[in-house]
Structure 1
Amino acid sequence: MIRILLAEDDQAMRTYLARALQNAGYHVTDVDRGTTALPLLEREHFDLLLSDIVMPEMDGIELAQRCAEVSPGTKVMFITGFAAVTLRASREAPHAKVLSKPFHLRDIVMEVQRIFGLSEHAQL
């Protein structure tokens, strides 16, 4: 089963995303900040880091850079509501997918499926 680490500081958004991804068949661990996510990346295997960019203590871009050091096989996808931040993310983490808010839950599930080369009806 594909394991996703979700880092999102907004509790409602985090719950919303985690539930949608779990309903799609993914195993999701969710945290509210990058400084909480980093030790998990060091201890456990995750296939995908799905991170908000703007978070307290450690932003998503720094988290992705640290993830590349401690868990280089983990893919990265950003979510953000800020256009300027999207440009920074594309420059500083060029291999990461950036999904801009607002988006439909179907969109995020489809993007995760694309990252792993899965069809819409694939068994996870």
Structure 2
Amino acid sequence: MPIPSEIQALIERLNRELNETEQAATEGLNRARPLLFRFPDNAILIQIFAFLNNAIFFVDNSRGRIQTIVDSISSADATAEVIQERGEYLATLLGQVIEVKINANRLKTRLENWP
């Protein structure tokens, strides 16, 4: 069964947001590493570094979940109810991805302005 256009658009948006989240988290990690070498006991830097690493993990995990959903709704025996459920899950995931992206960008900016 073909994926409905609304869900396809949602998947494309999710992939864009995930790419942007990954980019922000990677840039933040690249800024955090040298600071952690200079200030290894700084609790705030350790927390920022941990969050950004978790953001990368979240992005990878989310991509896997999206692929699993695409596979499940693309099968010939996917019911309208299953497609509806998966679409709702993807919409919820989009909200989570945007929240992680906002925080990753905020922390990246904070690291750019680190004294």
TM above 0.5, yes or no, is: no
The structure with more strand, counted as a fraction of residues: 1
Structure with more contact order per residue of length (Cα contacts < 8 Å, sep ≥ 6): 2
Structure showing greater Rg: 2
The structure with more helix, counted as a fraction of residues: 2
